[in-house]
Amino acid sequence: MGSLHTPKSKQLIESLAGEITNFKSRYNDSPLIQKRIDGLESLIAELERKKARLELNSDCDAYETLQNEMARTENEIRVLENQLEEDQSNYLDKFFEKINKLFKKLGSKNFTLEKESESRGYLPVYSLKVRFHGVNIQNEKLNSVFSESDRRALAFSVFLAKLNLKSEEEKLKTIVILDDPVTSFDDNRVTNSINIFKNSLSKISQLIILMHCPHLIKRFYEITKASEIAFKFIELKLNEVSSCLKSSDIKQFNSSDYEKVFLKIDGFVKHVHSECIKADLRPFLETLYLPMVFAKRIKDKSIDCNSLEKMIDGIFEDDEITKNKFHQFRKNLNPDSHIFTTNNEEDVRSFASDMMDYLYSLKFEVVHE
């Protein structure tokens, strides 16, 4: 091992001591050191950002693309919203115009219906404004101005306006169901309503109308029968247990009360159906057959029709044989007679057959009122 006191060793030691002194001197100034540390940390952070930017470059490009797409979409939404608002306004103009025309066509000619709008929030709200003879009617007073027919006509007009504004393709797929649509309407409104139905029949898939008034069904058929439309009549029939749907035809609605009861009795006699006719035999004789067939004689002689017995006596006062035969029918039709107390269907059928054969074997001139 060499000696530390040689000139060469001494020179080396002095050089190291100088380096140490210089190194220590650089850290004697704490603020300067902190400044350098801060600078290095900033440089490291910047390099980290550049590194992250390089690593996330594809994500940044995708984000920028999405931002641009969002901007374009928001612009398209604004354009579409403006278009929608314009289309809605045009639709509502046509809608209210249709309602107004239909309402007048249904008989409410003194009213004018207008579209009214007001802003609530950021969207317009539309409502119906009614004028009567040109005078504005407040909503709370409509009940005192609109009759029941007017209210139903307005509701019906709104429904029909919606239907009319459908596209032709939509109409062809549409099935319309109406429940007593002309209830409370007078004859003029009924006729106008049916004409509106008639114009719609060829444009929609199917129209189902539920009615309980036979004369309305008859009127509907009379107005629309010229159309090349297939009709089907279905009747809701009650029985002892429940109810059922039964196919029918227009004759059922075109027939008079006299014809309906006659056909029911005749059908039972001829085994066409088994529906009980006990309750129909006496009313047919008392309120239909005798008053219609002998209408002139009853009127000329002022015969009392409040009693079947007196009616028979008055009509056949000069024909004892016929009078006695009718009295025999009358007695057999009393509630306590055999025909009403028996449960034998053939007894009823036999009696009905004898009575009907006799009624239509008489020789006389039928006089209609």
Q: Say if strands 135-137 and 175-179 run parallel, antiparallel, or are unpaired.
A: unpaired
Q: Are 338 and 332 in contact (CB under 8 A)?
A: yes
Task: Residue count of the chain, please give it.
Answer: 369
Distance CA 166, CA 160 (A): 10
> What helix, strand, coil percent values describe the chain, rounded to 5?
60, 15, 25
3-state secondary structure of 232: coil
The per-residue pLDDT string of the chain (369 residues; one tens digit each, 9 = 90 and over) reads 455 567 777 788 878 877 777 777 766 666 777 787 888 888 888 888 888 777 777 777 788 888 888 888 888 888 887 777 777 777 778 888 888 888 888 888 888 887 777 766 666 777 778 888 888 888 888 888 888 888 888 888 888 888 888 888 998 899 988 888 887 788 888 888 888 888 777 788 888 888 877 777 888 888 887 777 777 888 887 777 788 887 877 776 667 888 888 989 999 999 888 888 888 999 999 999 999 999 999 999 999 888 999 999 999 998 999 999 999 999 998 887 777 777 788 888 999 999 999 999 887 544 443
How would you label 40-53 residue by residue, b for 16+ Cβ within 10 Å and e otherwise? eeeeeeeeeeeeee
Distance CA 124, CA 131 (A): 22
Q: Are 348 and 277 in contact (CB under 8 A)?
A: yes
Distance CA 112, CA 366 (A): 54
All domains in the chain, ordered by first residue: 63-164 (no CATH), 166-254 (3.40.50.300), 256-359 (no CATH)
Distance CA 77, CA 219 (A): 52
Angle at CA of residue 220, ends 172 and 237, nearest 5° = 95
